[in-house]
Chain A
Amino acid sequence: MSAQRHELHLLTGGYAIDALTDAERAEFEKHLDQCPSCAEEVRGLRETAAKLALATAVTPPPEMRARVLAAVPRTRQLPPDSPGPLTRAGDRTGLRRRSVSRAGVTAAILALAAAVVFLLVTQLSTSSQLRQAQQSNSAIAAVLAAPDARLESAPAAPGGTVTVVVSLGQREAVVSTADLPALPGTRVYQLWVMTSSGAARSAGLLAVTHAGATTPKLADGVLPGDRLGITVEPAGGTSQPTTTPVVIVPVTA
């Protein structure tokens, strides 16, 4: 491993002046996250490279200035929120909790909250349903608002994404999905909390909305080391899973 790390460290120079191939670049950027001394070296070498650039300065065509200055008022600026020049966005898939930014969590939480409100206003007909939903929604809102709320996201095997917001402080998780394959009327998606000893406990059925998503579902009694799983079951659900989960999201400490 250390030989490999040493190899990677040699790439600071090439990275600073864009000489890496795309594959090396991706690998090195992963390494940079864990190597502050590499990041510092890259920073310094970029300053050096900038001096190489200054030496090339020539007077640009005067029309260029007019064109750039004319484009500026028509160009919307990006809001602040820097992933920083050294870490680029991109290839972030699967279960990589570390790489999900707080902004990403906030965005996902807002999306979930919007889904909850959407559910409230569109799908409830009776007042008892409404009361029940309000109780469940306030529980969901409490998880989403928890200071230790954390976002996990994972792709499901047959397609689609599962997003989980976990609050270990409240021992609860909110599970939502997007783009899971549609099921025939005789089948449903069921959510399970699977303990480290292998026992599975149903957390209920996932209601599919017309938008190809499921309404956020609260799972309680969630502990570190548990796993959240979703299976396809006969309509009405079962007391124990009968099929292989389409997705498993571990709840880490």
Chain B
Amino acid sequence: MEGMNTSTTSSEQPGPGRMEGGGQDPAGLLARVARGDHAAFEAVYDQLAGPVYGLVRKILRDPAQSEEVAQEVLIEVWRSASRFDPARGSVTAWVMTIAHRRAVDRVRSESAATTREQKLTPGPVTGDDVAELVETALDRQRVRRCLGSLTALQAESVKLAYYGGYTYPQVAELLGVALGTVKTRIRDGLIRLRDCMEVTW
């Protein structure tokens, strides 16, 4: 991803002007964020605000609520940047874990099982009315292809849990299968996805 910039050998200062997406090492950026570097945070924002907002919106659906939660997530990234440990995974996974957790917490704290009941029909994985980012076309393609390599039950379980924000028991109920089945299908499905996506990197 790096390596396009041949010119700036003089100093380690990337400067705030380097805006091109994905051009900077995320872990290095986050270390700067932890030291209070606003420019580094802007760069992190520009790399990850799209996926954060997209994921939260996928789960919550409501645009205003999604914006609120996405904002909280990104401010949390600023606040707890010092707690990020590169040995435990990538910056993207760290941020997306926070985003998913926050969105799911919001869904569950509403505890409005009744109001969500109407929306219980599994939504389509694609086809939102919002502008999808061009850069993510490859990601989407790969995810679609890899999801397609799972069994129908694995794919449905993973999608309902991850994109729907549902718990095991809720997924089991929606799919009309035993709880134990859902547990194994989600794990098996994710493992297959992991292997599929690693291969196609």
Contact = CB atoms under 8 A, between A and B. Distances in A.
Contact of A46 (B97, B133, B184): B97
B1 interface: no
A91 interface: no
Contacts of A43: 88-89, 93
A55 B143 contact: yes
Nearest to A44: B194
Contacts of A76: 79
B20 interface: no
Interface residues of A, number: 50
A202 to B, nearest CB: 46
A61 B142 CA distance: 26
A243 interface: no
Contact of A84 (B36, B88, B165): B88
Chain B: number of interface residues, binned into ranges: 35 or more
Given A10-B187, A19-B186, A58-B53, A47 B90 contact: yes
B193 interface: yes
A69 interface: yes
A19 B67 CA distance: 23
B111 to A, nearest CB: 12
B136 A57 contact: yes
B53 A60 contact: yes
Interface string A53-92: 1111111110011011101110111111110111000000
A44 B191 CA distance: 9
Interface string B137-175: 001101110000000000000100111011111010000
A136 B57 CA distance: 62
Given A48-B194, A64-B53, A11 B71 contact: no
Contact of A75 (B53, B58, B79, B193): B79
Contacts of B38: 69, 72-73
A86 B89 CA distance: 11
B34 A77 contact: yes
A38 to B, nearest CB: 11
A75 to B, nearest CB: 6
B25 interface: no
B60 to A, nearest CB: 12
A133 interface: no
A77 B36 contact: yes
Contacts of A18: 100-101, 104, 161, 165
Nearest to A45: B190
Interface in B172-201: 183-184, 186-191, 193-194, 197
B20 to A, nearest CB: 16
A57 B96 contact: no
A51 interface: yes
A103 to B, nearest CB: 13
Interface of B: 34, 36, 38, 41-42, 45, 49-55, 57-58, 67, 70-71, 74-75, 78-85, 88-90, 92-94, 96-97, 99-101, 104, 128, 130-133, 135-136, 139-140, 142-144, 158, 161-163, 165-169, 171, 183-184, 186-191, 193-194, 197
5 contacts: A13-B186, A18-B161, A47-B89, A57-B51, A85-B89
Interface of A: 10-14, 16-21, 24, 43-61, 64-65, 67-69, 71-73, 75-82, 84-86
Given A45-B190, A46-B89, A60-B49, 6 more contacts: A11-B183, A19-B162, A44-B194, A46-B96, A57-B51, A82-B82
